[in-house]
Chains A and B, each alone.
Chain A
Amino acid sequence: MPTTTAESPGTRAVRPFRDGLVALDPPRLLGSRCAACGTTAFPPREFCPSCRAVEHIDKAELATAGRIHSFTIVRQAPPGMPVPYVLAWVDLPDDGVRLLTTVVGTQPEEVELDQPVELELTPFGTADDGASLMGFRFRVTTRGETR
């Protein structure tokens, strides 16, 4: 994976907010897949949550297209987290993965169950060494838009 590692102070490095969780170019979520039963996990695990295998767990790039399984509009959060924001369970049907994520791209009041969404990267603050960190979120795709 093309991850940028820590460089000398002053260089504008960019790296994922957690190692091994996202690839930056192209933007992908990184999971793990069990060769025995085909179960895909996100975040990547060293064992299979379905059949508990610990061998032949491979890295996997996840599909970027998802749909909203459930969502909430968070109206009260601890200091430092601007509200409102939409938090959702997003399903990636191609991988059989459900993940927790924030959702953007529409007014919170217009988010709906089963709405199609697409992965995108988003700045996630700055590391102690000055590197810019990248996280992920999902964006509501306009109706009829295909990729």
Chain B
Amino acid sequence: MILDPVHVAGAGMIRFGKHPAETTLETMGAQAATAAMRDAGVRAADVEALYVGHVFGGPVAGQRIGARIGLAGKPVSNHENYCSSGATALREAWIAVGAGLYDLVLVVGVEKMTDRVKGGVQPDPNDLDASIGFLFAAGHALSARRYMADYGATREQIAAVAVKNHAHSVANPYAQYQKPVSLGEVLGARPIAEPLGLLDCSPISDGAAAVVVASRAGLRRLGIRSAPRVAACALVSGTVQAGLGDVNEEDISRRAGAEAYRIAGVAADEIDVVEMHDCFTIAEIVRLEGLGVLPRGEGARLTEAGYTSLGGALPVNPSGGLLSRGHPVGATGAAQVCELFWQLTGRAGGRQVEGATTGLAYCKGGSVSGTDGASVTTVILTT
């Protein structure tokens, strides 16, 4: 079936970072939700359903948030796809509104991590790779070393991702870090899984982000004449790998991109701005290549050359990305869509990508032993 047009009517976030223990998941979720509803000019009474993405929030976190913001009694659902949970919640909202079930719904991504996650998030302990000593940082280090050997990329070129994304978020009031870091600081940081060091890794963060999703009728009800459209919200899962192929093939990214381009009727070269899941520096590079927005094997060199910087040919992570905006895992997918909404409505301030009309957000969540990933979501917003 073909979905009716679905729009983002408003967005709201709280600043990502380490919040005190008394700033609970429910508090953060409610603050972001309230900000998004205020931005869209929608009253709680007119919100028809709530979709909440989180990983560590415990049972029915969405209902706990809904009860705080006047949505008790409405349909509330909780969505877990590890780091793509927020985007998966958006996808369910997109489908429901596009199918005509609702005209105005709220999507919240939220996570409270700093009081419960130490030293990095893990695969499920029953996973074979996890039992052998696999950590997400280690997986990306294996990717980085092979990428350098296969494509002649340098350690400095990979570190340039962190330098770029930290430079971008100096102008993002919602970012966990708002200070530039130097190449020397990235290269000299404490090693985590060689060749990657601490500044190649996204931080443990708390935070929440929310968007109001609307049909055309919903926009009319709010008196909004035009709003960015969710042209696609694709979801794929990893496939079981066999043989001795390229560990950086990123077939899962290729499939996620192809599905989004197909649904949106947009080509890869029409994308003006990307919010990319840079959980680790190298991940931004190989995933951009997998999506087909950078040529295979050239992502590291192009990053160093400024191609993906603000002012470059294809700005990637003007928000600062996961590395610098922070990575409260369930909130990240929603935060990416907030950023695209602000970019496409010209409200991104000092990090504005001039003239951006088409944006893509990519989230990858989790790992399953023997596959090329658990879940990848791709969202395309157009003006």
Residue from the list B118, B133, B244, B370 in contact with A74, Cβ < 8 A: B133
Which of A96, A100, A135 gathers the greatest number of chain B CB atoms within 10 Å?
A: A100
B40 within 8 A of A: no
- Which residue of chain B has its CB nearest to the CB of A50? B242
Among B190, B196, B242, B244, which residue has its beta carbon within 8 angstroms of that of A91? B244
Whether A101 sits at the interface, judged by CB under 8 Å, is yes
Residue of B nearest to A91 (CB): B244
B118 lies within 8 A of A45 (CB)? no
CB–CB A78/B138 < 8 A? no
Number of interface residues of B (CB under 8 A): 35
- Which residues of A line the B interface, CB within 8 A? 17-18, 21, 39-41, 43, 45, 48-50, 69-79, 81, 85, 87-89, 91, 93, 96-98, 100-102, 113, 135
Is the Cβ of A85 less than 8 Å from the Cβ of B133? yes
Chain B residues proximal to chain A, CB less than 8 Å? 118-120, 122, 128-129, 131-135, 137-138, 141-143, 145-146, 149, 190-196, 239-244, 247, 369-370
Known A-B contacts A39-B242, A69-B244, A73-B193; the reply to A113 vs B145 at CB < 8 A is yes
Q: Are A72 and B194 in contact (CB under 8 A)?
A: yes
* Structural contact, B241 and A81, CB atoms closer than 8 A: no
CA distance A78 to B119 in the complex (A): 6
Q: Are B239 and A89 in contact (CB under 8 A)?
A: no
Q: Are A100 and B132 in contact, CB atoms less than 8 angstroms apart?
A: yes
Q: Do A87 and B138 touch across chains, with their CB atoms under 8 A apart?
A: yes
Closest to A113 in B: B149
CB proximity of B344 to chain A, nearest CB, Å: 39
Of the candidates B138, B143, B193, B242, which one forms a contact with A49 in the assembled complex, judged by CB atoms under 8 Å apart?
B242
Residues in B neighbouring A85, C-beta threshold 8 A: 133
- What would 12 A/B residue contacts be, using CB atoms closer than 8 Å? A43-B370, A50-B243, A71-B145, A72-B193, A72-B195, A73-B193, A74-B193, A77-B133, A78-B119, A87-B132, A100-B129, A102-B133
Q: Which residues of A contact B191 (CB under 8 A)?
A: 73, 75-76
What is the minimal beta-carbon distance from A68 to any residue of chain B, in angstroms? 10
B243–A98 CB distance below 8 A: yes
In the bound complex, do residue A76 and residue B242 qualify as a contact, i.e. CB atoms below 8 Å apart? no
**Interfacial chain B residues near A49, Cβ < 8 Å:** 239-242, 370
Which residues of chain A are near B247, meaning CB under 8 Å?
A: 69-70, 89, 98
Give the interface centre of A48, A79, A87, A89 by most chain B CB atoms within 10 Å: A87
**Nearest A-chain residue to B119, judged by Cβ:** A78
Nearest residue, chain A, Cβ from B128: A43
Q: CB-CB < 8 A to B243: which residues of A?
A: 39, 50, 96, 98
Alpha-carbon gap, A18 to B244, bound state (A):
24
CB distance from B145 to the nearest CB of A (A): 5
Alpha-carbon gap, A18 to B142, bound state (A): 25
Q: Which residue of A lies closest to B118 (CB)?
A: A78
Chain B: minimal CB distance from A96 (Å): 5
B242 touches A41 (CB 8 A): yes
Given A39-B243, A43-B128, also A72-B120 (CB < 8 A) = no
Q: Are B192 and A76 in contact (CB under 8 A)?
A: yes
**How far is B146's CA from A70's CA once the two chains are assembled, in angstroms?**
6
With A72-B138, A74-B193, A76-B193 given, is the CB distance from A18 to B240 under 8 Å? Answer: no
Kindly list chain B residues whose C-beta atoms are within 8 Å of the C-beta of A75.
190-194
Q: Which residues of chain A are within 8 angstroms of B118 by Cβ–Cβ distance? A: 78-79
A87 touches B194 (CB 8 A): no
Q: Give CA–CA (A74, B141) in the complex, Å.
A: 9
Least CB distance from A54 to B in Å reads 13
Q: How far is the CA of A36 from the CA of B239 in the complex (A)?
A: 20
Which A residues lie within 8 Å of B149 (CB)? 70, 113
**Can you name 6 extra interface pairs (CB under 8 A) apart from A71-B145, A100-B134?**
A41-B370, A43-B128, A48-B242, A69-B146, A70-B149, A72-B196
The answer to whether B119 touches A77, judged by C-beta atoms less than 8 angstroms apart, is yes
